[in-house]
Structures are given as C-alpha cells and as structure tokens.
Amino acid sequence: MTASSELRGDELIAQRHLPAEPELVWAAFISPASIAAFWGGSHATVPAESVTVDLRPGGEFTLDTRAPDGATRRLRFVYVSVAAPHELVFDEPVTGLRTTVNVRPAGGGTDLTVHQRRLPPELRTAQAADGLASILDALAAHLRHCDATLGWRTP
C-alpha cells in the first residue's frame, strides 16, 4: 500500500495505513534519528545531525533538507500541541502553515493522517501533494527497516 494525498484549496491531506503499532509510529515522529531517516521522502535527504526536537508546546523542531542538486534548506517548526501518542500539531512560523499529525490504531496497525492547513500558494501543487505522500511512504520503509534491524514489534 502507498500513501494517498489530496489537495483542497489551502489544505493538503495525506493518509497511509502502516503495519506498525501506534507507539512506534509516534516514536518515529519525535526521534531525531527517525525523522532524518524518512522526512525527505523521495525528493530530499535530511542529515541526522541537523535534526533537533524540543517536544513540548512552544518547543521547536528543526531540520535541514538537501535536494539532489545539493541545495540545502533549513526548516523550523514550533509545536502547538503534543498529545502523546495520538496527535502532534506544529506550525511553520514564517508562512503560518499548520501541520496536524494523527496516529490512530486500526486494522492491526496504524492509520496515519497528516493534515496541513494554510498552505502558502507555492505549496498548493500536485508536486507538494506527491512530496508529502512520499514522506509517508518513506516512513513505512523506515518502520520496516527498524522492525528488521532492531526487532521492533509490528503486527
């Protein structure tokens, strides 16, 4: 299964079922090493040393993305709400983009929804929708790798 994404005006919603327990999916979203492993999806890499996580309302989450051409972009988010292990809400302060990550147990695994609101006009594109879906697909691959190498328990 692959992720699906839908662009609706200034909102982007991506969904994917993951064959992993919700606690593992949650852990991937708050662990700097895991974030580095999946955040770039198929369009960028994230150097592990660039990821910082201060997991609390008002805390920051930062990372660098590196495009295939070598261009690097610093991303910075501020946590609005942290409701472990089910919901993360964070804002990108420059554009006002708000991202909500919902982690829900379902079908022997986890249903993951990432809902972005207040997308700036330059992100209201099919490319952005594909990019977000590829991040969720990279997360699925990361969780499979963790299961194989670390012995994490997945259903």
10 Cβ contact partners less than 8 Å away, ≥ 6 residues apart: 117, 118, 119, 124
Q: Residue 61 falls within a domain, yes or no?
A: yes
79 vs 97, 131, 147, 152, CA distance in Å?
A: 12, 22, 28, 27
CA gyration radius for the chain?
15
Q: How far is Cα of residue 71 from the mean position of the Cα atoms in its chain?
A: 21
In the predicted structure, residue 1 carries a pLDDT above the cut 70: no
Inside any domain, residue 155: no
- Asked if 83 and 103 count as a contact pair (C-beta separation under 8 A), the reply is no
Tell whether 35 is covered by a domain. yes
pLDDT in tens, 105-143: 998 899 999 999 999 999 999 999 999 999 999 999 999
For position 107, what pLDDT does the model report?
Answer: 87
- Residue 76: per-residue pLDDT: 97
Given a contact cutoff of 8 angstroms between Cβ atoms, the answer to whether 30 and 86 are in contact is no
* The pLDDT value given to residue 44: 92
Q: At 20, which CATH number? A: 3.30.530.20
Residue 83: per-residue pLDDT: 97
Q: Quote the domain boundaries for residue 98.
A: 4-150
Domain count, the chain: 1
Tokens of 77: 């988010």
pTM (2 d.p.): 0.91
The mean pLDDT value of the chain amounts to 92
Q: Report whether pLDDT(148) > 70.
A: no
Instruction: Give ∠ CA 138-116-65 in degrees, rounded to 5.
Output: 45
Per residue in 20-52, pLDDT (tens digit) is 999 999 999 999 999 999 998 888 999 999 999
User: Which residue(s) pair with 112 in the sheet?
Assistant: 16, 103
Show the tokens assigned to 100: 């909500």
User: What is the percent of the chain with per-residue pLDDT over 90, rounded to a whole number?
Assistant: 86
Helix/strand/coil percentages in the chain, nearest 5: 30, 35, 30
| H or E, element range at 24 | helix 22-30
Residue 47 falls within a domain, yes or no? yes
Res 154: pLDDT: 40
Over 70: is that where the pLDDT of 66 sits?
A: yes
Query: Is the pLDDT at 152 greater than 50, yes or no?
Result: no
Phi, psi at residue 138, to the nearest 5°?
-65, -35
